Structure 1
């Protein structure tokens, strides 16, 4: 749809022309008032359309307003077919002089923008005032530290390595996180902090042959580039000259302040030895001779726009006061920091800088002057919210239509667009419905134009949340993170200790072997071809497993015992499944018009996983078998929406729904979520928990019994005998594993008579998901929100300054804080401490011993943002979803378990702002070894690397226990997680009568040895991972994919790898043909077939020739040309392909 508006066709054009005349005269202020709603974004977009690419800087009062304005401008740029990409120059989101560094991602975004400006690009920028009042890296320093690489350049690879190291990148065997680089032969990988994808540069000699972006999960190239600018990781970037200047300036400042020389010496040593430390960026003025801000990078014809200038003026003054306060605190503590005027602009300086450019255009939502120089004939009004009153909107829309106003309704999903079209057709109205997001609408009367956002019609306003595609690679199993001292499980020999690799000479030459220690100090040297038999041991317990005895019967007994337990468990599951198949349930009506309308009103675009789960639940409910499905997905992945779709279907068929949750607080939040989602429909929703008085509960239960309540939400109170339903259809159980044994038994009895949907945030392993299909109905939602950032986690000794800074920073950016203190008797002293440290902050207490009405009031106040800091016990561990709360402080973190810390930290990081977790430990006294391990793991888990995957594995083990029964945990520990999953898969197939194909081991002796050289894949863990994947490859597709991946990641194959992959292809073909031996002798190759082979003498008639002979019923002979190993292996592979083709097994060749 072309939404371009002719500039001559509306009443804004004359106004814009007059504004433009003023804009073209520097230092001419222009006041534009009365731009309510998103009208300011529309006005700026139209002005940019007229100005044809003039650079623009819009100043906002904070980051949140900047993000909101960005969304509106993105929509209008798209609407007006403008090609410019608007960008936000973010603030550090730190307190002045704080002892933390800005996030690498934020610094990366800022440096990307500064570099574009340095190169003369005209940008459309939005920036919070704090970002603009702060100095930045000088242009000449940035230029010195940018390393540009073009395809075809002559470049010494070692120089590129040095550049990456000097620019702050960390060397790593595998690039998985931002700010890392890796070198493998002629290939250099790196991941810039402000980039979406890492980059791979491949050399041919000293020539840059290609520059490619690659996928961080699969490590495979996805996009070609012609050039790349490599930017520093940090904004404080300096060479030896700047370092020398900085150290000298620091010394001079310390003398001015009269500080102790030992303190100065410590700071000098830190800079000399460590290079960088948290908070060092605030020392930047000591290292740079010039004081520059973003304004110094802007082109001279840049148009400056001030969003709400009165608020900006007030904010600049407040920020100036905060700078002075924090500076005084630093001086009082004896810290060496630059003076405020060296690092920041004052309020007066800031506005003076704005006046040096074109404009500024001062944009206000309020019209406060009777006469506005440029405002003649312009009338823009904000849309009055309809709050879900469709009749009110219909009346208003008909009035606009009668006045010949063009109406544009903006909706964020295709489902909502469909729904709006249906409504408009009912009212016989012609409107444009556009896909996009708009914070608020407006009525531009003189232009006969009305913009309305979807939530103004239906009465909902939500934070924008992107989704990303599911990536099954992110939890890939293997040996990638294997290190000495880890335990391994060999299918035949049991649990051993990995001691590293060892080079051993054999008859075929040298080779690399895994060195595994078993009981009684016995060693197993496992060749790389045997990696398919081993997995890394993960048992879900902190105690190390006992080593198995090689050749002993204990391991076989252990496996047998686990198999028997799995058989019993699987049998019980199957029996339950069979009884449900025989039972008759209520078959709900197929997808109705009302259901489609409810689905279309969902404020997000569903992910594929979510849609699949919804479809599976709908199919369950529409059948006449009782539903019993488990929905698995992390917090924020969309499980609740799946449950609400099911609830709507049930209620629409005049049945009732019970939502069972483990905690009172979670019940309260679910009540609000359900009421918000169902607000447009005549559905009665109520709650039973201890927030309600006995009288209120009695009244609610009576209504429930009479059928006057459609959806009831509550804790285990709902399972009490006095709770009666008029017609119960569905029970939704949230986190069933957190209920007691009696409650679980009650649920078990209900399973055959009502439909049950269980939600869990504990991950379920993919292998188990597939193996249990048909035995346990399971839907997995794996797609996380795109904007979610890893929570930045700090371990700190209990320190008042740390607490003050953490709270002040979060509150200053408009957020809220969780403070967890698990001792009720001393919780009031913490309240007093917080009030003393941060005067004026609103803090309240929440814990399980508070009276119900008081706890409810506190929780509601926190949800409504009437409280800045919620000081609570661990009752907030699960369920709460508060996007504005992005800092959590956990006192005595050493006394919590890893799972509990993981859950608590999950309370923050729900929105796209960076979230912080502070794990406070005692200032004195030693921590226990286990506490140290737990805290170290939590700190490591703040990035989505190998540590996170390991934690995911531990979470999955809990998931297995939750799904299959706690008694299975011991069996997992005895044989290891991966082997346990494999045994479950085989057992379930066996019980269901499916044939379990044994893996055919092929002995290949062709006098050719293939291997992966150390200089081709230098990192041992990656080498092991490739060997294991090669051993587990099941078809030619996987062989070819492995070949392509190795070429992409490591360059052209050396001869030894070519041999390895050629042998792999032969082995895969042999497995498909049930050939278990390939031997070369005197220029001939003998293929030995198993009795199960599909190859029969009669099927060979068409392919037998002088080179290929059937020697016996189970042996085939091939006469080789002996023109070299490549010709020999190709010849063998070619005949095997012919055999597969002759048996109509071509699919094996695809």
Structure 2
């Protein structure tokens, strides 16, 4: 941006403006400007000044946009965001962490010596804050070899708002395991692991959240609080006295008194501090805001009159709260300080029009400009506009790439306009057209500065510059589930032989001379079973449909065997069906599509976002299928908004380039119209004819479309079941795209089967597919999975709170103020109209409509269509509205009775918002004073962890994946799945498919030999049952000595070490694996030696030379014999100074490596 600064600094108005800023003039008024010009002036002043700048925007939405735009001018290290929840009076049971992390990061940066530009809004700048001294004292550094009490660190982290967990998974977690302390600090992409020796820090490393393994040494870390409410024991005592005196002096209702006492208890125990920020003024005893953390700040008030309006609204909200029937406000909380009493050194008041204020200003400046114009592909208007500008303005046109620069240059030459091509260091040519390659993404029009900046997205329709978002998901992909993941006492489990039971605990029990870990399971009639943890592979966590409670199996009964047999019979039928379908398609002759790289590259560049890793993989898989001579049959699964349509677009484009027609089948009229608009916008510039067939298309138009399809003049048709009609005749159909096939009826599905013959088929599903199903049908069905969340998506800000009318009114009005729309979910049809009337009274200016499942299908589609077209502001609906609908303008979701919905419902419903780079809000409300059940509370609290799209919702996704399995295999399967659980169902299905395919697992006569050693993990290393199961699982999966050593390193890394008994257990497990591999049939143990006897068949496979070279290399106490056609490995143990397993495993592992190399 230096070239723009160098251009504007010559202008007299800018010189006056900068002189006023640098001279310290206290009150500067800039009027008649535009937002974009204001941001440029602000960024330039920041460049020239040595002061901190604070930018106050009218509301959170404007602050977000301002922050993003300023990132074009100011480096991220110097730019900070200070967002605050705008619901001043609401006590949130749960709120999302992202805003708090942004604020903590901003405070941390403010306390450094580097100047900052901070973007905030009235709720952020007026909220009470702690003093700079408290903050400075709270932040401290830990480094290698520092003496620091580990117990003191854990205590401090609790005081600082961190949550103690056994496994660290998200920011704000910490864990203590022996000498290991794991912390996920705010502002860090990865958590850190501190390894203590006594109270000395031996090492500090980053570790990976998925593997939990450390990967990079760092010298030091800065411990920053995770709460904005810090207090010493003295401050707490003072606060206790103050609260007690108020309780004695003021008459409170019982409920209000109990709330205050609960608050005090939380303060004493440092619990849920984020809910208690209203007590901060009682601690500080001063009016302190974020500005008091900064020395002599310059504050810019952007659109000052709107800031005053927003402030007045918040004051009104607080007044209403004080007048409420609840006595709680009698505590006289100061929730917000006065806008007119802010403490700052210099104020710059920016207005976009001419306003008269009561206050006086030291100077007033005008910077005239125009609102920016988007040409939306209208080349004539664009050319005409810049022709008129060249006379009195310097014009800058930005292109996102050299290719796009060439396209803009061609446009200039075609219209005989002179231009200059600028490289990085070139200065602007005044009163000329300057074309540069830049990712600058907003336009500026200034009459005063004689400047015009036009960006590529303004010129071309539907084109955005690809740029990475600020928020990077903590999880690169959705968290995947292992079959026994998250096992907790009380969970249902499935044992292959004994059936469905209830997991009680992990028990360590002495059996003879050995101590082993057991899984304790309860069955029907209170029967108990203890399964050695080394045999955990026979057990899986039971997963059935949400809300389904399985019946416990009877030990010794026949019901379980019968249930498995029924499932196996059904799995045989499915296996036959899948294999036949696959075989038929393999034999079919299809069309082999060619690549048209230049056209396809252009089409790819039109996509306005960065493809995710999974999108790229899926596109590659689909296009590869299309290049083969057999017809494609691929299922593409992806969460809401993960980019399935773009994959379909790429496939459709290649099909049309190969002179083939495309049919896109959507389950509803609304979805068909959405997809039609998307395809038309992307394809029409290439001359591709896209048509829509649904009930909104007139009979006459339909007739013309049918004729065009028959003649081949229509390339792509998108529609509902109308496409399946018998009168549909294609000249040359090449690709059929089916969206949510499971939602079509039986007759429609039969017609789809007929259409599939000899054409390429791409099926899309928004329901996740279980990994076990993917593995089971691999080889008989091609699948692509989209699990990576798109970038540049702001996390959905999720709140769980008591329902109240003020909040509902504020939430809707705030969304309407930013010209957005609101989903209001109410799931009872009988009184949904009453709720709509109540909401209408709260926001009379809003256009409100109702949608539910008892409406006529056409009426329902009409309402949804009106909502998409922004003719409705608030849609009050049941869960009927399908998740596939993309309404990017709807970014507030209010759920009336969130505690009554299941997790999977909450997950899918919440996916309706947050589809753009605009902050989205989800308010999960429950009835005031209602005592939530433990299960409902757990469901609502779980949601706060999953504000990132695609970051998991582990339980919800699990339930949805079962539905996904039903979609792939047939919905009638759900009963069979529930009877044994999805994992066992998929295991049986996989066995049947392999049997039908003639795939025979290698049969080894030996089962391996076992020795009597203790197989347990001491609680001093691992306390958590789930983690203990995880480690037993890893021990069971070790296949060679290299893997065993890697596991040993992981144990040291994660848990600080292990004892010899655990190491011997690991060696024993590997010994069992290796003896099985070499077909060792017997072990003979005496006081002087250990003898392993290899079977006759196993002996024939072993090279004698390998035996001798390995033995000589490993130990002088190893010898060998050959008797009765069997090799014997003999280890003399008298002279060994360690357990014989170490030596024997080393020998067998060496022999294994030699076998692999032969």
Q: What residue is the counterpart of 2:287 in the other structure?
A: 291
Alignment of 1:748-787 (within 5 A): 748-786=753-791, 787=793
Alignment of 1:366-515 (within 5 A): 384-389=373-378, 409-411=398-400, 418=403, 420-421=405-406, 424=409, 430=421, 437-442=439-444, 451-460=453-462, 466=469, 471=476, 474-515=479-520
Native 8 Å contact 1:251 1:264 kept in 2? no
Native 8 Å contact 2:58 2:307 kept in 1? yes
Q: What residue is the counterpart of 1:740 in the other structure?
A: 745
Native 8 Å contact 1:633 1:780 kept in 2? yes
Q: What residue is the counterpart of 1:360 in the other structure?
A: 348
Q: Does 1:789 align with 2:795?
A: yes
Native 8 Å contact 1:317 1:347 kept in 2? no
Native 8 Å contact 1:842 1:868 kept in 2? yes
Cα distance change on mapping 1:512 and 1:313 into 2, 3 Å: same
Native 8 Å contact 1:468 1:783 kept in 2? no
Q: Does 1:154 align with 2:147?
A: yes
Q: Which among 157, 172, 182 is matched to residue 179 of structure 1?
A: 172
Aligned residues: 1118
The whole-number CA distance in structure 2 between the counterparts of 1:447 and 1:504 is 82
Q: What residue is the counterpart of 2:641 in the other structure?
A: 636
Give the CA deviation at 1:313.
Answer: 2.5
Give the CA deviation at 1:1012.
Answer: 1.9
Deviation readout 1:196-247 (Å, 9 max, x if unpaired)? 4333322111112233333333222244443334344332333444445445
Cα distance change on mapping 1:519 and 1:132 into 2, 3 Å: closer
The whole-number CA distance in structure 1 between the counterparts of 2:789 and 2:1004 is 36
Deviates more, 1:443-452 or 1:729-738: 443-452
Q: What residue is the counterpart of 2:67 in the other structure?
A: 70
Deviation readout 1:319-375 (Å, 9 max, x if unpaired)? 22431343234323244438999443434334xx45x23x6374859999xxx9999
The whole-number CA distance in structure 1 between the counterparts of 2:720 and 2:925 is 32
Q: What residue is the counterpart of 1:1111 in the other structure?
A: 1122
Deviation readout 1:30-52 (Å, 9 max, x if unpaired)? 5667875755545444444444x
The whole-number CA distance in structure 2 between the counterparts of 1:925 and 1:100 is 13
Deviation readout 1:1031-1077 (Å, 9 max, x if unpaired)? 12345554344333222211133323333333444445445545466
Give ranges in structure 1 of 5+ residues lacking alignment: none
Cα distance change on mapping 1:999 and 1:779 into 2, 3 Å: farther
SS at match of 1:784: coil
Native 8 Å contact 2:104 2:186 kept in 1? no
Alignment of 1:328-727 (within 5 A): 328-337=320-329, 342-350=334-342, 353-354=343-344, 356-357=345-346, 360=348, 362=350, 384-389=373-378, 409-411=398-400, 418=403, 420-421=405-406, 424=409, 430=421, 437-442=439-444, 451-460=453-462, 466=469, 471=476, 474-518=479-523, 523-540=528-545, 542-548=547-553, 558-559=563-564, 561-678=566-683, 680-692=685-697, 701=706, 704-705=709-710, 707-727=712-732
Q: What residue is the counterpart of 1:92 in the other structure?
A: 85
Give the CA deviation at 1:494.
Answer: 3.8
Deviates more, 1:612-621 or 1:281-290: 281-290
Q: What residue is the counterpart of 1:27 in the other structure?
A: 25
Give the CA deviation at 1:860.
Answer: 5.1
Native 8 Å contact 2:476 2:789 kept in 1? no
The whole-number CA distance in structure 2 between the counterparts of 1:213 and 1:148 is 16
The whole-number CA distance in structure 1 between the counterparts of 2:165 and 2:1026 is 12
Q: What residue is the counterpart of 1:60 in the other structure?
A: 57
SS at match of 1:595: helix
The whole-number CA distance in structure 1 between the counterparts of 2:1126 and 2:15 is 90
Q: What residue is the counterpart of 1:940 in the other structure?
A: 942
Cα distance change on mapping 1:419 and 1:1030 into 2, 3 Å: farther
The whole-number CA distance in structure 2 between the counterparts of 1:704 and 1:266 is 72
Native 8 Å contact 1:890 1:919 kept in 2? yes
Give the CA deviation at 1:833.
Answer: 0.8
The whole-number CA distance in structure 2 between the counterparts of 1:834 and 1:975 is 46
Q: What residue is the counterpart of 1:324 in the other structure?
A: 316
The whole-number CA distance in structure 2 between the counterparts of 1:915 and 1:7 is 35
SS at match of 1:26: coil
Give the CA deviation at 1:498.
Answer: 2.6
Native 8 Å contact 2:618 2:647 kept in 1? yes
The whole-number CA distance in structure 1 between the counterparts of 2:351 and 2:144 is 45
Native 8 Å contact 2:128 2:287 kept in 1? yes
Give the CA deviation at 1:859.
Answer: 3.9
Q: Does 1:1095 align with 2:1106?
A: no
Cα distance change on mapping 1:14 and 1:322 into 2, 3 Å: closer
Native 8 Å contact 1:733 1:757 kept in 2? yes
Q: What residue is the counterpart of 1:260 in the other structure?
A: 252
Cα distance change on mapping 1:725 and 1:922 into 2, 3 Å: farther
Alignment of 1:221-300 (within 5 A): 221-246=214-239, 249=242, 259-260=251-252, 262=254, 265-275=257-267, 279-300=275-296
Q: What residue is the counterpart of 2:1057 in the other structure?
A: 1052
Q: What residue is the counterpart of 1:124 in the other structure?
A: 117
The whole-number CA distance in structure 1 between the counterparts of 2:340 and 2:812 is 29
Native 8 Å contact 2:174 2:184 kept in 1? yes
Cα distance change on mapping 1:98 and 1:673 into 2, 3 Å: farther
Deviation readout 1:1083-1108 (Å, 9 max, x if unpaired)? 43333445367424465465465624
Give the CA deviation at 1:382.
Answer: 7.4
Native 8 Å contact 1:92 1:102 kept in 2? no
The whole-number CA distance in structure 1 between the counterparts of 2:203 and 2:1028 is 24
Cα distance change on mapping 1:246 and 1:844 into 2, 3 Å: farther
CA RMSD of aligned residues (A): 4.3
TM-score of the two chains, using structure 2 as the length reference: 0.86
Cα distance change on mapping 1:799 and 1:92 into 2, 3 Å: closer
Cα distance change on mapping 1:272 and 1:59 into 2, 3 Å: closer
Q: What residue is the counterpart of 2:430 in the other structure?
A: none
Native 8 Å contact 1:589 1:653 kept in 2? yes
Give the CA deviation at 1:771.
Answer: 4.1
The whole-number CA distance in structure 2 between the counterparts of 1:496 and 1:127 is 54
Native 8 Å contact 1:54 1:303 kept in 2? yes
The whole-number CA distance in structure 2 between the counterparts of 1:865 and 1:407 is 34
The whole-number CA distance in structure 1 between the counterparts of 2:752 and 2:1087 is 71
Give the CA deviation at 1:894.
Answer: 7.2
Deviation readout 1:614-643 (Å, 9 max, x if unpaired)? 111112223332222110010111111101
SS at match of 2:1001: coil
Deviation readout 1:793-851 (Å, 9 max, x if unpaired)? 6375x654554454345446664321133555644332221122234334233456778
Deviation readout 1:937-970 (Å, 9 max, x if unpaired)? 3553442499932322222222122112234334
Alignment of 1:921-960 (within 5 A): 936-937=938-939, 939-944=941-946, 948-960=953-965
Give the CA deviation at 1:155.
Answer: 1.4
The whole-number CA distance in structure 2 between the counterparts of 1:781 and 1:130 is 38
The whole-number CA distance in structure 2 between the counterparts of 1:1123 and 1:316 is 88
The whole-number CA distance in structure 2 between the counterparts of 1:620 and 1:90 is 47
Give ranges in structure 2 of 5+ residues lacking alignment: 357-361, 414-418, 424-434
Cα distance change on mapping 1:325 and 1:41 into 2, 3 Å: closer
The whole-number CA distance in structure 1 between the counterparts of 2:899 and 2:256 is 34
Native 8 Å contact 2:95 2:798 kept in 1? no
Native 8 Å contact 2:468 2:610 kept in 1? no
Q: Does 1:114 align with 2:111?
A: no
